[in-house]
Amino acid sequence: MTKSGAEPRGNQKKMMHVTRLFAPGDLRLLEEPLPAPGAGEELVRVGAVGLCGSDRHWFDEGGIGGTRLAHPLVPGHEFAGWTAGGRLVAVDPAIPCMECEYCRGGNPNLCNQLRFAGYGREDGGLREYVAWPSRCLFPLPDSLTPADGAMLEPLGIAIHAVDLGKVRAGMRVGVFGCGPIGLLVMQVARLEGAGEVYVTEPLAHRREVALGWGAREWTPHDKVDVAFECAGENDAVEDAIAAERPGGRVILSGIPDDDRTAFQASVARRKGLTLKFVRRMKFTYPRAIRMVADGQVDVRTLVTHRFPLAKAADAFRALQKREGIKVMVETV
């Protein structure tokens, strides 16, 4: 699709295709009116939407954590598209209030009034058009594609995780879970100067990517300076804690299926570990754009499955089976 095709031709287009989740596993393609941008918003023609583990929770369970499906929801929070003027933009799915104490304190990811695409009552990106705040749209250089733009959201999560881990030059890093987030954490940690990187991953095709990028397979004898859990599995949490040196940090970014994270407390306590949870991201889009545009981070290799919007249900089934690495729905 060309940039000139980003807006409805002659403003005559009134309807769009939308994918809504009505119940676990019940994803339907509908026709609905185009959204009308409100004050401070722009109409964006969606180009690509990445699916992630939290989308799988919505599809499998009809919710995530304590939040349940309250109405037929449009999933998808990793997306990019074109503004009415034809500019390709990455869409930050988080809309913080910018007025609460957390926003004013520089932590908009902790905003207690935050609206988030594809979550609760806030429709996400699996539709042809969205109306979204201009302050949440980030222009992309011509060298990037809509799929590249969609990958900036998981890259932002990885950047925030590495920031929390305080990775410094020469550190030995452990990455426990090599899905998209884990593989991006590995790359960002390397940019921050990490030396040896150790990984665990039960799926061979994902483990092979990490090893092909120079990681080593972790064994219980290997100790690290900072450990990143990126799987949402308690086994990965236990391994991360076992691998961490005394006084070190364990960064938890995975979302467990049963909303419970468990580990042997005595091991973590006796080591005096600091555990930090990754709550989305903050102020990462400019950095993520530079990393991808400059070729410092490879996001394209991670996109292994592509589906049209009409086949979004097939995309979710591939996500359920953990096929490939990143599943992408392309709407044009």
Residue 265 inside a domain? The answer is yes
**Does 107 lie in the same domain as 36?**
yes
**Does 234 lie in the same domain as 115?**
no
**Does 251 lie in the same domain as 187?**
yes
Residue 319 has pLDDT above 90, yes or no: yes
Q: What pLDDT band is residue 13 in, cutting at 50, 70 and 90?
A: confident
**Does 171 lie in the same domain as 269?**
yes
Residue 230 has pLDDT above 50, yes or no: yes
**Phi/psi at 113 (5° precision):** -120, 15
Residue 148 inside a domain? The answer is no
What is residue 278's three-state secondary structure?
A: coil
Residue 149 inside a domain? The answer is no
Residue 144 inside a domain? The answer is no
Residue numbers of the domain that contains 134: 3-139+299-330
Residue appearing with tokens 């691998």: 243
Question: Across residues 46-50, what is the average pLDDT?
Answer: 98
Residues of the chain with pLDDT > 90: what percent? 92
What is residue 256's three-state secondary structure?
A: coil
Residue 10 has pLDDT above 50, yes or no: no
Q: What pLDDT band is residue 2 in, cutting at 50, 70 and 90?
A: very low
**Does 121 lie in the same domain as 76?**
yes
- pLDDT confidence of residue 6: 54
Q: What pLDDT band is residue 12 in, cutting at 50, 70 and 90?
A: low
**Does 172 lie in the same domain as 125?**
no
**Does 120 lie in the same domain as 171?**
no
**Does 96 lie in the same domain as 28?**
yes
**Does 165 lie in the same domain as 124?**
no
Residue 11 has pLDDT above 70, yes or no: no
**Does 254 lie in the same domain as 186?**
yes
Residue appearing with tokens 């990958």: 151
Residue 17 inside a domain? The answer is yes
Distances (CA, A) of 80 to 6, 42, 64, 90, 144: 12, 13, 23, 4, 11
Residue 190 inside a domain? The answer is yes
Question: Across residues 160-167, what is the average pLDDT?
Answer: 98
- pLDDT confidence of residue 7: 53
**Does 258 lie in the same domain as 165?**
yes
CATH number reported for the structural domain that contains residue 204 in this entry: 3.40.50.720
Q: What pLDDT band is residue 275 in, cutting at 50, 70 and 90?
A: very high
What does pTM read for this prediction? 0.95
- pLDDT confidence of residue 192: 97
Residue 319 inside a domain? The answer is yes
Question: Across residues 19-48, what is the average pLDDT?
Answer: 97
Residue 291 inside a domain? The answer is no
Question: Across residues 204-216, what is the average pLDDT?
Answer: 97
Question: Across residues 283-303, what is the average pLDDT?
Answer: 98
Residue appearing with tokens 């467990």: 256
Q: What pLDDT band is residue 8 in, cutting at 50, 70 and 90?
A: very low
d(CA 319, CA 31): 24
Question: Across residues 143-150, what is the average pLDDT?
Answer: 98
Work out how many domains the chain is built from and give that number.
2
Q: What pLDDT band is residue 5 in, cutting at 50, 70 and 90?
A: very low
Largest Cα span, the chain: 67
Q: What pLDDT band is residue 70 in, cutting at 50, 70 and 90?
A: confident
- pLDDT confidence of residue 332: 83
**Does 52 lie in the same domain as 108?**
yes
CATH number reported for the structural domain that contains residue 97 in this entry: 3.90.180.10
Residue 225 has pLDDT above 90, yes or no: yes
d(CA 152, CA 210): 19
Residue 9 has pLDDT above 60, yes or no: no
